[in-house]
């Protein structure tokens, strides 16, 4: 990458590729999926080769992020409500954040990932899904 000239770095495809590499290497999934959504030429198809893996990793991170820190005064050794609270997340939010093209595509991904959904398939149970992922 050090060998890239400034004019080559300024080209749309190269700039996009460098952005994808940067987002992926930093674990910035929000930026990675945004770059996927608006990639030039055949970038979207190329990124599609590894996107399922990155979506699954992002889903793991999203589910784990819903763990709240222990707010107990004492050092908590038992699973109190505050330490194990993991709410649900709407499927619509996942569609938006993980840049799925349709609800069906998202539900297929969640089913293949063994994610736990409610009976209406509108909400992801983060606590149970974390155990499976």
pLDDT at 128 over 80: yes
For the beta carbon of residue 94, count every other beta carbon within 10 angstroms: 23
pLDDT at 19 over 60: yes
Q: Delimit the domains of the chain by residue range.
A: 6-132
Per-residue pLDDT tens digits for 80-90: 555 555 678 88
Sequential DSSP letters for 57-98: HHHHHHHHHTPPPP--SSPP-S--TTTS---EEEHHHHHHHT
For the beta carbon of residue 109, count every other beta carbon within 10 angstroms: 19
pLDDT of residue 88: 83
pLDDT at 69 over 70: no
Q: What's the rounded Cα separation, in Å, for the pair 92 and 85?
A: 21
pTM: 0.77
């Amino acid at each position: 990458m050090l060998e890239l000239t400034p004019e080559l770095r300024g080209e749309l495809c190269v700039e996009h590729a460098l952005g994808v590499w940067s987002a992926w290497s930093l674990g910035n999934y929000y930026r990675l999926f945004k770059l996927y959504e608006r990639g030039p030429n055949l970038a979207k198809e190329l990124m599609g080769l590894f996107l399922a893996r990155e979506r699954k990793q992002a889903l793991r991170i999203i589910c784990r992020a819903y763990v709240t820190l222990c707010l107990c005064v004492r050092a908590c050794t038992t699973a109190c409500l505050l330490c194990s609270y993991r709410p649900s997340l709407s499927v619509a939010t996942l569609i938006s954040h993980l840049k799925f093209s349709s609800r069906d595509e998202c539900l297929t991904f969640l089913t293949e990932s063994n994610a736990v959904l409610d009976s209406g398939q509108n909400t992801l149970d983060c606590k149970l899904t974390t155990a499976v992922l």
